[in-house]
Chain A
Amino acid sequence: MPTLRPPSTTLETVVFVFFAALAVLGAFGTILSRNPIRAAVGLFVHIVALAALYLNLGAHFLGVIQLLVYAGAVVVLFVFVIMLLGPAANSPKDGRGIGSRGAALIGVAGIAAGLISTLQYVRLPLPERTDSFGTMNVVGSFLFKQGVIPFEMIGVTLVIAVVGAFAIARGKHERRALTDPDPTAPEKLAEGPEPDAKSAKKTAAKQSAEGHS
């Protein structure tokens, strides 16, 4: 049965055990810590350990992508969101009841049962692993030779996403002075984020400062 090759050398085994343990610890840290920042750090540890496992398996490209995308982008995004929300995000009472814990436990058990039974009964037609599988070289040559058409087309997909986002975002600020011909448009949308209130506050602050001096 073509499955993943077991680690062949002692060094690979040692590396596997170390990073597998680290990944499990990181995962526990993510779900058990009450401080969202600590949870994010736990997730980071978990992701880096997974990347190391990929490298250990010889999937260099996947390992690097794991680091770049998950550790570099996703975790940073999480941390940004947590920082932006501030103390509001730290509400320990949410989701700590018996009901939600039980539901989580049932969900985890279900997924575990599904995974185990899948591994037991379903054999996907996986190709035999070769030594060059998943290395930078092979992935790069696939992307730029056989896969050049979808690769280039994804470039256009990204461009159209950026242009589309720009088209929608730019229209918001520009030409606000023009009256909108659509009678259904509420006035709120046509205005900015309450510039009057801000300037009023500023002038008030200025006045109070002047009053003190």
Chain B
Amino acid sequence: MKDLLLYLLPIVILFIGGFTLMLVDAFQKEEGGLAVPTAMLHFAAAAAALALWPYAGNAADLARAQVAFNGWLAFDRTTLFLDITIALGGGLTTLLAGSYLAEHKLERGEFYTLITFASAGCMMLAGATDLIMLFIGLETLSLGVYALTGFRRTSARSQEGALKYFLLGSFAAALLLYGSALLYGMTGHTDLAGIRDALGRAVEMPAIAGQEGAAQFVAVQQTVRDRVTILAMVLVVAGLAFKVGSVPFHMWTPDAYEGAPTPATAYMAVTVKAAAFGAMLRVLIGVFGDTSGPASLAGGWPGLLVWLAVLSMLIGNLVALAQSSVKRMLAYSSIAHGGYILAAFVVAPRAESLAGGGGSVGQSAAAAVLFYLLAYTVSNVGAFGALILAGSRGKEAVSYEDLAGLGKRHPAVALALSFFVLSLAGMPPTVGFFAKYNVIRSAIEAGYPWLALAVVINSAIGVYYYLRVMVKMYMHDPQPGAVRAEPMSSPGISLTLIATAGMVLALGMMPQRFYGYALEAVKLAAAPIAAAPADAPPANAN
């Protein structure tokens, strides 16, 4: 029990903190004031993950954690890296929410409880090594995010976004569950390592061995298992691709992003993505990663994913061009960013698989995924934060027109928005540049030059609409009589933005160091995770 609490510390902090927040909210007389404690909880979880980092490199600790977790969750640096990304994103968006909710009269304590528990769900999803845990984590974060999307109860748009997200999300969860059930039926395992091992073996039926027609029967069983496994893999990928909003499962994204309160939008964009991509990393590369071995029957997923990646980039960027709302533009741009990350996925299993010792190319691609998630988290939180700061109650900055002339009226706010938008566009020396650079480099190294070219072309398309924000702010004057965005005065948001900008620059100035951490994270995870037998004796009874 002690081991369990220790190695699970980031999630435990959020659990206990979430329940404490609920109690405080129930007993305090006035609403509000919970933003800073919630952010502190997230930062404490990030610090705990950071403190556990050395432990995850230690064989004795890994063995103890494996006994304590009993095959449900992984204790490795990939999980810790994702935990830090999730906690950072959750903490920063909470700080933004503190001022935003007060300004827009939405201040209710549930917001912070929901974010805290949703972050715990994200960490569960990111660390899940069992399909049951994967589903529980996914549902925990999804339920929280649905409620956050519909938080602005009096706005029809918020309700519309939440309802669409909820209905489509339930459908996607059902697909994932169906795929998981098929995998369980085919292998008899719900833990990922067990599924991988079972798929790696040929079908055996000792009970009927020697009987007449047994060999033929087994051959039929093998074919059935192969085909059903492919179907299951497609269903699981579809369920996860929905959560990251990649084309063609992106329909909910613009409505949910636009309808949600802006801090909730930022939260959805960064933490949910980080968790879902983390789960994808573990399922696709951990279970089906060996695209050449006997488990290769479902190893065709890079061919499936490459379409998702290219379509996400292309459609996300092209539709983003046509948007008049900045929030919607950021939603489509997040679809495009999901496409860039998926491109790194396609590359990852090339050469050797991660699970089977790991080729260096595959590892650098997986590290590119992690680095991209971290870079995207800080850049996107900054961009949404600047957008929040640019508006105030009744004078929100939503469309490009609202931003016209902001550079003359409020140069500081305009500068902040420009800075983060440049990072999203991928301009050096911001971190956005190096995130894309890593993806492109690993694509070229793995022998996918055309995929690298697709990323470059799409980044160029992206620059157009990102720069349009700056052109509007600095070079256009507002229409006479039009509603103008008036920046709110909020020291909290300003401080958050300064801290975020510092992170964007630090990651951009020292990309090698942070990329090195990401590489370390995937390298250690590549050590084969011993299959915890499903019928293991009750572990850790103390």
Interface: A185 (CB within 8 A): yes
The distance in angstroms between the C-alpha atoms of A93 and B111, with both chains bound, is: 48
Among the listed stretches B69-77, B267-275, B300-308, B441-449, which one makes contact with chain A, having 4 or more residues with CB under 8 Å of it?
B69-77
Q: B92-141: which have CB < 8 Å to A? A: 104-105, 108, 110-111, 113-114, 117-118, 120-121, 124, 130, 132-133, 136-137, 139-140
Q: Mark A128-168, 1 if CB is under 8 A from B, else 0.
A: 00000000000001000111111001101101110111111
* The stretch of A57-65, A96-104, A175-183, A202-210 that contacts the partner chain: A175-183
Are A124 and B185 in contact, CB atoms less than 8 angstroms apart? yes
Q: Is A88 an interface residue (CB 8 A)?
A: no
B133 touches A149 (CB 8 A): yes
Stretch at the interface among B145-153, B230-238, B314-322, B506-514: B145-153
Q: B215 to nearest A CB, angstroms?
A: 15
Are B15 and A156 in contact, with the CB atoms below 8 A? Answer: yes
Q: Assess whether A211 is interfacial by the CB under 8 Å rule.
A: no
Complex contact B132–A150 (CB within 8 A): yes
Given contacts A153-B124, A153-B137, A156-B15, whether A146 and B147 have CB atoms under 8 Å apart is no
Confirm or deny: A171 has a beta carbon within 8 angstroms of a beta carbon on chain B. Answer: yes
Q: A146-B539, A167-B108, A186-B156 are in contact. Are A160 and B151 (CB under 8 A)?
A: no
A78–B105 alpha-carbon span in the complex (Å)? 40
User: By the criterion CB–CB under 8 Å, are A167 and B136 in contact?
Assistant: no
A165 with B157, Cβ < 8 A, contacts A157-B136, A160-B140, A181-B394 known: no
Residue A85 CB within 8 A of the other chain: no
Q: Is the CB of B144 within 8 A of A164?
A: yes
A164 touches B188 (CB 8 A): no
Q: Are B154 and A149 in contact (CB under 8 A)?
A: no
A212 at the interface (CB under 8 A from B): no
- The reply to whether A168 and B133 form a contact with Cβ atoms under 8 Å apart is no
Chain B residues in 8 Å Cβ range of A161? 143
Query: A116 within 8 Å of B by Cβ?
Result: no
Query: A2 at interface (Cβ–Cβ under 8 A)?
Result: yes
A182: B residues at CB distance < 8 A: 152, 154-155, 157-158
Known: A146-B536, A181-B104. A156 touches B147 (CB 8 A): no
B22: chain A residues within 8 A (beta carbon): 159, 163
Q: Is A213 in the interface zone, CB < 8 Å from B?
A: no
Q: Is the CB of B143 within 8 A of A157?
A: yes
Chain B residues contacting A172 (CB-CB under 8 Å) are: 153
Residues of A within 8 A of B18 (CB): 156, 159
Please tell me if the beta carbons of B105 and A178 are within 8 angstroms of each other in the complex: yes
Instruction: List chain B residues, Cβ under 8 A from A180.
Output: 154-155
Contacts of B187 in A (CB 8 A): 125
CB-nearest residue of chain A to B205: A123
* CB–CB B117/A146 < 8 A: no
Given contacts A180-B154, A181-B104, A182-B152, contact A167 B114 (CB under 8 A): yes
Q: Which residues from chain B contact A115 at a C-beta distance below 8 Å?
A: none
Name the residue on A nearest B204 (C-beta): A125
Q: Is the interface of A mostly helix, strand, loop or mixed?
A: helix
Q: How many residues of B contact A (CB 8 A)?
A: 61
Could you tell me if A149 and B73 are in contact, using CB atoms closer than 8 angstroms?
yes
Chain B's nearest CB lies how many Å from the CB of A114? 14
Q: Is B207 an interface residue (CB 8 A)?
A: yes
A185 touching B136, Cβ below 8 Å: no
Known: A160-B144, A167-B111. A150 touches B72 (CB 8 A): yes
CA of A160 to CA of B104, assembled, Å? 24
A146 near B70 (CB under 8 angstroms)?
A: yes
| Cross-chain contact B136 with A189 (CB below 8 angstroms) | no
Q: For the complex, is B159 an interface residue (Cβ under 8 Å from A)?
A: yes
Alpha-carbon separation in the docked complex, A156 to B144 (Å): 11
Which of B121, B155, B221, B535 has the most chain A CB atoms closer than 10 A to its own CB? B155
What does the 1/0 interface line of A177-201 toward B look like (CB < 8 Å)?
A: 0101110111001100000000000
B136 touches A160 (CB 8 A): no
Which of A145, A170, A171: most chain B Cβ within 10 A? A171
CA separation between A163 and B155, bound complex, in Å?
20
**Bound: A41/B235 CA distance, A:** 37
- A170, B538: Cβ atoms under 8 Å? no
Question: In this assembly, does A4 line the interface, its C-beta being within 8 Å of a C-beta of chain B?
Answer: no
B:382-402 near A, CB below 8 Å: 393-394, 396
CB pair A168–B207 under 8 Å, yes or no, is no
Quick check: A168 and B150 within 8 Å, CB to CB? yes
Question: Contact at B114–A171, with CB atoms within 8 Å?
Answer: no
In the complex, the answer to whether A121 meets B220 with C-beta atoms within 8 Å is: yes
- Tell me which of B121, B132, B155, B205 contacts A156 (CB under 8 A): B121
* A11 CB contacts on chain B under 8 angstroms: none
**Are A185 and B110 in contact, CB atoms less than 8 angstroms apart?**
no
Which chain A residues have a beta carbon within 8 Å of chain B's beta carbons?
1-2, 121-127, 141, 145-150, 153-154, 156-157, 159-161, 163-168, 170-172, 175-176, 178, 180-182, 184-186, 189-190
Tell me the B residues contacting A by CB distance below 8 Å: 4, 8, 15, 18-19, 22, 69-70, 72-73, 104-105, 108, 110-111, 113-114, 117-118, 120-121, 124, 130, 132-133, 136-137, 139-140, 143-144, 146-147, 150-159, 162, 185, 187-188, 205, 207-208, 220-221, 224, 393-394, 396, 535-536, 538-539, 541
5 contacts across the A-B interface (CB closer than 8 A): A127-B188, A150-B136, A164-B143, A168-B151, A171-B152
